[in-house]
Amino acid sequence: MTDLKSLTLKELEQETAAMGEKPFRARQLYGWMHGKLAAGYGEMTNLPKSFRQKCQERYGYTVLRAVRVQESRIDGTRKYLFELEDGDTVESVLMRYKHGLCVCISSQVGCRMGCRFCASTLDGLERNLRPSEMLEQVYAIIRHTGERVSNVVVMGSGEPLDNYDNLLRFIELLTDENGLHISQRNVTVSTCGLVPRIRQLADRKLQITLALSLHAATDEKRRSLMPIAERYSLGELTEVCAYYFGQTGRRITFEYSLMRGVNDSAADADLLAALVGRLNCHVNLIPVNPIRERDYVQSERKAVDAFGGRLRSRGITVTVRREMGRDIDGACGQLRRRYRDGEA
Protein backbone atom coordinates (compact mmCIF):
# COMPACT_ATOMS: atom_id res chain seq x y z
CA MET A 1 0.00 0.00 0.00
CA THR A 2 1.27 3.45 -0.88
CA ASP A 3 2.20 5.51 2.17
CA LEU A 4 1.12 9.08 1.42
CA LYS A 5 3.25 10.57 4.20
CA SER A 6 6.40 9.10 2.68
CA LEU A 7 5.83 10.80 -0.70
CA THR A 8 7.46 14.01 -1.91
CA LEU A 9 5.10 16.78 -2.98
CA LYS A 10 5.66 15.89 -6.63
CA GLU A 11 4.83 12.26 -6.05
CA LEU A 12 1.79 13.21 -3.99
CA GLU A 13 0.59 15.36 -6.88
CA GLN A 14 0.85 12.35 -9.18
CA GLU A 15 -0.95 10.14 -6.70
CA THR A 16 -3.83 12.55 -6.18
CA ALA A 17 -4.02 13.28 -9.93
CA ALA A 18 -4.58 9.56 -10.42
CA MET A 19 -7.51 9.93 -8.01
CA GLY A 20 -8.91 12.66 -10.25
CA GLU A 21 -7.98 15.54 -7.94
CA LYS A 22 -6.49 18.93 -8.84
CA PRO A 23 -2.81 19.55 -8.01
CA PHE A 24 -3.66 22.12 -5.32
CA ARG A 25 -5.31 19.34 -3.31
CA ALA A 26 -1.95 17.60 -3.08
CA ARG A 27 -0.36 20.81 -1.86
CA GLN A 28 -3.06 21.21 0.80
CA LEU A 29 -2.73 17.61 1.92
CA TYR A 30 1.07 17.88 2.04
CA GLY A 31 0.78 21.05 4.10
CA TRP A 32 -1.51 19.33 6.60
CA MET A 33 0.81 16.34 6.94
CA HIS A 34 4.23 18.00 6.98
CA GLY A 35 3.57 21.63 7.89
CA LYS A 36 0.67 21.54 10.33
CA LEU A 37 1.55 18.02 11.47
CA ALA A 38 -2.05 16.80 11.45
CA ALA A 39 -2.65 13.65 13.48
CA GLY A 40 -5.37 12.45 11.10
CA TYR A 41 -7.57 13.36 8.14
CA GLY A 42 -10.24 14.59 10.56
CA GLU A 43 -8.23 17.77 11.17
CA MET A 44 -7.95 18.67 7.49
CA THR A 45 -11.03 20.85 7.51
CA ASN A 46 -10.48 22.63 4.18
CA LEU A 47 -10.39 19.33 2.27
CA PRO A 48 -13.69 17.82 1.07
CA LYS A 49 -14.95 15.07 3.30
CA SER A 50 -15.27 12.67 0.38
CA PHE A 51 -11.60 13.16 -0.52
CA ARG A 52 -10.49 12.63 3.06
CA GLN A 53 -12.57 9.48 3.29
CA LYS A 54 -11.12 8.15 0.07
CA CYS A 55 -7.61 8.80 1.35
CA GLN A 56 -8.32 7.03 4.64
CA GLU A 57 -9.76 3.99 2.87
CA ARG A 58 -7.09 3.71 0.20
CA TYR A 59 -3.98 4.66 2.11
CA GLY A 60 -4.65 4.89 5.83
CA TYR A 61 -2.64 7.46 7.74
CA THR A 62 0.72 6.95 9.40
CA VAL A 63 0.68 8.37 12.89
CA LEU A 64 2.55 7.32 16.03
CA ARG A 65 0.98 6.97 19.42
CA ALA A 66 3.11 7.45 22.53
CA VAL A 67 2.68 4.48 24.85
CA ARG A 68 5.26 5.69 27.38
CA VAL A 69 6.77 9.10 28.05
CA GLN A 70 9.48 9.32 30.67
CA GLU A 71 10.91 12.64 31.74
CA SER A 72 14.27 12.99 33.42
CA ARG A 73 14.19 14.88 36.68
CA ILE A 74 17.83 15.76 36.17
CA ASP A 75 17.75 17.60 32.84
CA GLY A 76 14.22 17.50 31.38
CA THR A 77 15.22 14.97 28.71
CA ARG A 78 12.17 13.03 27.57
CA LYS A 79 12.13 9.55 26.24
CA TYR A 80 9.16 8.51 24.13
CA LEU A 81 8.13 4.98 23.30
CA PHE A 82 5.93 5.06 20.21
CA GLU A 83 3.69 2.32 18.94
CA LEU A 84 3.72 1.58 15.20
CA GLU A 85 0.71 0.32 13.26
CA ASP A 86 1.91 -3.27 13.49
CA GLY A 87 2.12 -3.06 17.27
CA ASP A 88 5.92 -2.92 17.47
CA THR A 89 7.53 0.01 19.24
CA VAL A 90 10.36 2.49 18.67
CA GLU A 91 12.14 4.90 20.97
CA SER A 92 12.83 8.58 20.43
CA VAL A 93 14.40 11.14 22.72
CA LEU A 94 13.84 14.86 23.20
CA MET A 95 16.79 16.82 24.57
CA ARG A 96 16.84 20.45 25.63
CA TYR A 97 19.93 22.43 24.76
CA LYS A 98 20.63 26.15 25.03
CA HIS A 99 20.34 26.49 21.26
CA GLY A 100 16.99 24.68 21.09
CA LEU A 101 15.28 21.34 21.14
CA CYS A 102 16.92 18.29 19.63
CA VAL A 103 15.07 15.09 18.75
CA CYS A 104 16.92 11.78 18.45
CA ILE A 105 15.08 9.28 16.28
CA SER A 106 15.31 5.58 15.51
CA SER A 107 15.77 4.41 11.92
CA GLN A 108 14.94 0.72 12.32
CA VAL A 109 13.07 -1.55 14.73
CA GLY A 110 15.99 -3.42 16.26
CA CYS A 111 19.31 -3.57 14.45
CA ARG A 112 21.49 -6.21 12.81
CA MET A 113 24.88 -4.63 13.37
CA GLY A 114 25.58 -6.47 16.61
CA CYS A 115 27.70 -3.89 18.48
CA ARG A 116 28.62 -5.53 21.79
CA PHE A 117 27.72 -2.62 24.08
CA CYS A 118 24.39 -1.70 22.47
CA ALA A 119 20.93 -2.77 23.64
CA SER A 120 19.18 -2.14 20.30
CA THR A 121 20.83 -5.05 18.56
CA LEU A 122 20.36 -7.80 21.14
CA ASP A 123 17.44 -9.37 19.25
CA GLY A 124 18.57 -8.47 15.76
CA LEU A 125 16.67 -6.49 13.14
CA GLU A 126 12.87 -6.53 13.18
CA ARG A 127 12.29 -4.22 10.21
CA ASN A 128 13.18 -0.94 8.54
CA LEU A 129 11.20 2.17 9.37
CA ARG A 130 9.48 4.00 6.53
CA PRO A 131 10.27 7.68 5.95
CA SER A 132 6.87 8.60 7.43
CA GLU A 133 7.64 6.61 10.59
CA MET A 134 10.91 8.45 11.04
CA LEU A 135 9.21 11.81 10.42
CA GLU A 136 6.36 10.96 12.77
CA GLN A 137 8.79 10.57 15.67
CA VAL A 138 9.65 14.24 15.22
CA TYR A 139 6.08 15.30 14.45
CA ALA A 140 4.52 13.47 17.40
CA ILE A 141 7.02 15.05 19.79
CA ILE A 142 6.25 18.53 18.42
CA ARG A 143 2.53 17.86 18.79
CA HIS A 144 3.13 16.71 22.36
CA THR A 145 5.34 19.62 23.46
CA GLY A 146 3.96 22.38 21.25
CA GLU A 147 7.54 23.62 20.84
CA ARG A 148 9.79 24.08 17.85
CA VAL A 149 12.48 21.50 17.18
CA SER A 150 15.72 22.87 15.78
CA ASN A 151 17.90 19.76 15.48
CA VAL A 152 17.32 16.15 14.52
CA VAL A 153 19.85 13.39 15.07
CA VAL A 154 19.47 9.89 13.66
CA MET A 155 21.20 8.22 16.59
CA GLY A 156 18.48 6.08 18.11
CA SER A 157 17.98 2.40 17.45
CA GLY A 158 19.00 1.02 14.09
CA GLU A 159 21.70 1.61 11.50
CA PRO A 160 20.47 4.45 9.26
CA LEU A 161 22.72 3.55 6.34
CA ASP A 162 21.29 0.02 6.45
CA ASN A 163 17.95 1.70 5.61
CA TYR A 164 19.53 4.03 3.08
CA ASP A 165 16.74 4.88 0.62
CA ASN A 166 14.21 5.55 3.36
CA LEU A 167 16.78 7.64 5.23
CA LEU A 168 17.42 9.87 2.21
CA ARG A 169 13.73 10.36 1.62
CA PHE A 170 13.27 11.17 5.32
CA ILE A 171 15.96 13.86 5.09
CA GLU A 172 14.41 15.28 1.94
CA LEU A 173 10.98 15.58 3.55
CA LEU A 174 12.28 16.85 6.90
CA THR A 175 14.25 19.65 5.27
CA ASP A 176 11.65 20.51 2.62
CA GLU A 177 10.48 24.12 2.60
CA ASN A 178 6.86 23.01 2.50
CA GLY A 179 7.34 20.91 5.61
CA LEU A 180 9.23 21.59 8.84
CA HIS A 181 12.07 23.04 6.77
CA ILE A 182 14.79 22.02 9.19
CA SER A 183 18.17 23.03 7.84
CA GLN A 184 20.36 20.18 6.58
CA ARG A 185 23.10 21.54 8.80
CA ASN A 186 20.93 20.76 11.79
CA VAL A 187 20.56 17.10 10.86
CA THR A 188 23.10 14.50 12.02
CA VAL A 189 23.26 10.90 10.85
CA SER A 190 25.27 8.46 12.93
CA THR A 191 26.66 5.28 11.38
CA CYS A 192 28.72 2.33 12.53
CA GLY A 193 30.57 2.71 9.22
CA LEU A 194 29.07 1.12 6.10
CA VAL A 195 31.83 2.32 3.77
CA PRO A 196 30.10 1.99 0.35
CA ARG A 197 27.03 3.78 1.69
CA ILE A 198 29.12 6.61 3.11
CA ARG A 199 30.70 7.05 -0.30
CA GLN A 200 27.26 7.12 -1.93
CA LEU A 201 26.03 9.63 0.64
CA ALA A 202 29.09 11.82 0.07
CA ASP A 203 28.24 12.00 -3.63
CA ARG A 204 24.82 13.44 -2.77
CA LYS A 205 26.70 16.43 -1.31
CA LEU A 206 24.15 17.04 1.43
CA GLN A 207 25.04 19.51 4.17
CA ILE A 208 24.15 17.13 6.99
CA THR A 209 26.67 16.10 9.64
CA LEU A 210 28.01 12.58 9.49
CA ALA A 211 28.86 11.01 12.83
CA LEU A 212 30.97 7.89 12.71
CA SER A 213 30.94 5.42 15.59
CA LEU A 214 34.59 4.53 16.03
CA HIS A 215 34.98 3.32 19.64
CA ALA A 216 38.42 1.84 18.99
CA ALA A 217 41.59 2.92 17.23
CA THR A 218 42.91 -0.45 16.10
CA ASP A 219 41.19 -2.95 13.83
CA GLU A 220 41.65 -5.71 16.36
CA LYS A 221 40.00 -3.85 19.21
CA ARG A 222 37.25 -2.53 16.99
CA ARG A 223 36.49 -6.05 15.79
CA SER A 224 36.04 -7.15 19.39
CA LEU A 225 33.40 -4.44 19.91
CA MET A 226 31.75 -4.07 16.52
CA PRO A 227 31.19 -6.91 14.02
CA ILE A 228 31.07 -4.38 11.17
CA ALA A 229 34.82 -3.95 11.67
CA GLU A 230 35.27 -7.44 10.20
CA ARG A 231 33.99 -6.03 6.93
CA TYR A 232 35.66 -2.63 6.75
CA SER A 233 39.07 -1.70 8.10
CA LEU A 234 39.93 1.54 9.84
CA GLY A 235 42.05 2.41 6.83
CA GLU A 236 39.01 2.18 4.55
CA LEU A 237 36.93 4.11 7.06
CA THR A 238 39.31 7.04 7.43
CA GLU A 239 39.74 7.15 3.67
CA VAL A 240 36.01 7.39 3.05
CA CYS A 241 35.73 10.04 5.79
CA ALA A 242 38.31 12.15 3.97
CA TYR A 243 36.28 11.62 0.79
CA TYR A 244 33.10 12.70 2.59
CA PHE A 245 34.78 15.91 3.72
CA GLY A 246 36.12 16.50 0.22
CA GLN A 247 32.69 16.13 -1.34
CA THR A 248 30.66 18.04 1.24
CA GLY A 249 33.04 20.30 3.15
CA ARG A 250 31.42 18.95 6.30
CA ARG A 251 33.64 18.02 9.21
CA ILE A 252 33.15 14.45 10.45
CA THR A 253 32.26 13.73 14.05
CA PHE A 254 33.89 10.62 15.49
CA GLU A 255 31.99 9.07 18.34
CA TYR A 256 34.02 7.21 20.89
CA SER A 257 32.25 5.55 23.82
CA LEU A 258 34.66 5.13 26.70
CA MET A 259 34.58 1.78 28.45
CA ARG A 260 36.69 1.27 31.53
CA GLY A 261 39.72 -0.90 30.92
CA VAL A 262 38.64 -1.57 27.32
CA ASN A 263 39.45 1.50 25.23
CA ASP A 264 40.23 4.33 27.66
CA SER A 265 44.00 4.15 28.24
CA ALA A 266 46.62 6.75 27.32
CA ALA A 267 47.85 4.38 24.62
CA ASP A 268 44.32 4.19 23.18
CA ALA A 269 44.17 7.99 23.09
CA ASP A 270 47.50 8.18 21.28
CA LEU A 271 46.41 5.61 18.71
CA LEU A 272 43.17 7.50 18.17
CA ALA A 273 45.02 10.79 17.74
CA ALA A 274 47.30 9.18 15.17
CA LEU A 275 44.33 7.68 13.34
CA VAL A 276 42.16 10.78 13.01
CA GLY A 277 44.65 13.60 13.59
CA ARG A 278 44.99 14.48 9.95
CA LEU A 279 41.29 14.49 9.16
CA ASN A 280 38.94 17.45 9.39
CA CYS A 281 37.09 16.09 12.33
CA HIS A 282 35.93 16.43 15.85
CA VAL A 283 35.88 13.71 18.49
CA ASN A 284 32.88 13.25 20.73
CA LEU A 285 33.65 11.21 23.83
CA ILE A 286 30.68 9.37 25.31
CA PRO A 287 30.84 7.72 28.71
CA VAL A 288 29.38 4.30 27.89
CA ASN A 289 25.85 3.80 29.09
CA PRO A 290 26.03 0.42 30.81
CA ILE A 291 23.34 -2.05 29.69
CA ARG A 292 22.30 -4.89 31.89
CA GLU A 293 23.00 -7.64 29.34
CA ARG A 294 26.69 -6.71 29.06
CA ASP A 295 29.32 -5.88 31.61
CA TYR A 296 30.92 -2.77 30.17
CA VAL A 297 31.60 -0.18 32.84
CA GLN A 298 31.94 3.59 32.47
CA SER A 299 35.42 5.07 32.53
CA GLU A 300 36.09 7.16 35.57
CA ARG A 301 35.69 10.90 35.23
CA LYS A 302 39.45 11.31 35.62
CA ALA A 303 40.12 8.87 32.81
CA VAL A 304 37.65 10.65 30.53
CA ASP A 305 39.31 14.01 31.21
CA ALA A 306 42.79 12.57 30.72
CA PHE A 307 41.73 10.90 27.46
CA GLY A 308 40.24 14.13 26.16
CA GLY A 309 43.26 16.14 27.29
CA ARG A 310 45.63 13.83 25.44
CA LEU A 311 43.66 14.25 22.22
CA ARG A 312 43.51 18.02 22.65
CA SER A 313 47.24 18.23 23.21
CA ARG A 314 47.58 16.75 19.73
CA GLY A 315 45.40 19.48 18.26
CA ILE A 316 42.17 17.52 18.03
CA THR A 317 38.84 19.16 18.85
CA VAL A 318 37.14 17.17 21.57
CA THR A 319 33.80 17.38 23.28
CA VAL A 320 32.57 15.15 26.06
CA ARG A 321 28.95 14.29 25.60
CA ARG A 322 26.85 15.52 28.44
CA GLU A 323 25.01 12.57 29.77
CA MET A 324 21.33 13.21 29.49
CA GLY A 325 18.46 11.19 30.78
CA ARG A 326 20.56 8.75 32.81
CA ASP A 327 17.56 8.14 35.06
CA ILE A 328 15.24 7.21 32.18
CA ASP A 329 16.92 4.39 30.25
CA GLY A 330 18.76 6.86 28.02
CA ALA A 331 20.74 4.24 26.06
CA CYS A 332 19.28 3.15 22.74
CA GLY A 333 16.91 0.26 22.91
CA GLN A 334 16.63 -0.11 26.67
CA LEU A 335 13.11 1.22 27.13
CA ARG A 336 11.70 -0.81 24.25
CA ARG A 337 13.11 -4.01 25.74
CA ARG A 338 11.80 -3.28 29.21
CA TYR A 339 8.36 -2.41 27.83
CA ARG A 340 8.26 -5.58 25.78
CA ASP A 341 9.33 -7.66 28.76
CA GLY A 342 6.54 -6.13 30.81
CA GLU A 343 8.83 -4.13 33.06
CA ALA A 344 8.03 -0.61 31.92
Residues belonging to the active site:
91, 332
Q: Indicate the residue among 148 and 301 with the shorter CB distance to ligand SAH.
A: 301
Q: Indicate the residue among 40 and 196 with the shorter CB distance to ligand SAH.
A: 196
* 116 phi, psi to nearest 5 deg: -65, -30
Q: Indicate the residue among 120 and 175 with the shorter CB distance to ligand SAH.
A: 120
Side-chain half-sphere exposure of 110, counting CA atoms within 13 A: 10
Choose among 276, 282, 88, 253: nearest CA to 154.
253
| Helical packing angle, 266-276 and 234-248, nearest 10° | 50
The single-letter code of the amino acid at 30 is Y
Q: Indicate the residue among 43 and 300 with the shorter CB distance to ligand SAH.
A: 300
Q: Indicate the residue among 135 and 283 with the shorter CB distance to ligand SAH.
A: 283
User: Where do contacts with ligand SAH occur on this chain (CB under 6 A)?
Assistant: 113, 115, 117-118, 155, 159, 190-192, 213, 255, 257, 286, 288-289, 291, 331-332
Which residues, other chains included, contact 248 with Cβ-Cβ below 8 Å and sequence gap of 6+? 202, 205, 206, 207
Task: Give the DSSP per-residue string, 29-90.
Answer: HHIIIIIS--SSGGG-TTS-HHHHHHHHHHH-----EEEEEEE-TTT--EEEEEE-TTS-EE
| Start-to-end C-alpha separation, the chain | 33
